[in-house]
Amino acid sequence: MNGKKVKYIIAGIIAILVGYIIYDSSSQPTFNDLKGNFKEVALYRNPNNTGPILRIYAVTVQGEPWEEMQKYGDLMPYTKYGNTKVFFFQEGKSVPASLVLEEPNFDAQFQQNCIARYEKDANGQVSLSKKPFNP
């Protein structure tokens, strides 16, 4: 084999590798791929950057696409040893405009409209609770 063929083979391998990297990074699921017309309406993030980062979201959704809610929560930012919560509310019903750190994280008047709560805790355990405030 001469040196020119080796260069073409190496260039071909690099081109295939770069093509795969671009394809893989552009084919990752995003919020826009989910059914349910999710809209973030409120966010709380604690100001502490030296300890666990706590994120709480209020999101509206059309219908009750439970699997899509799970996927939505999985796509949300998460920090190791932190906590991420997403409260889902039916679109068109009243939702909290702001969230707080203290449980239940928003005014009790909105609890009846909360259809699900997604949580990823400090240990990385994920849960999706349907109707978390209704018995």
For 49-108, the pLDDT digits (tens) are 777 899 999 999 998 899 999 999 999 988 888 999 999 999 999 999 999 989 999 999
Q: What residues form DSSP beta bridges with 30?
A: none
User: Contact at 8 Å (CB) between 34 and 71?
Assistant: yes
User: Contact at 8 Å (CB) between 74 and 103?
Assistant: no
* This prediction's pTM: 0.79
Sign of CA dihedral 71, 110, 83, 44: positive
Instruction: Examine the pLDDT at 27 and tell me if it is beyond 70.
Output: no
Give the other-Cβ count within 10 Å of 90's Cβ: 16
Q: Which of 63, 66, 60 is nearest to 87 (CA)?
A: 60
What distance separates the 2 farthest-apart alpha carbons in the chain? 77
Task: Bin 123: left if φ > 0, else alpha if -120 < ψ < 50, else beta.
Answer: alpha
The strand pair at 54-61 and 39-45 is best described as antiparallel
pLDDT of 1 reads 61
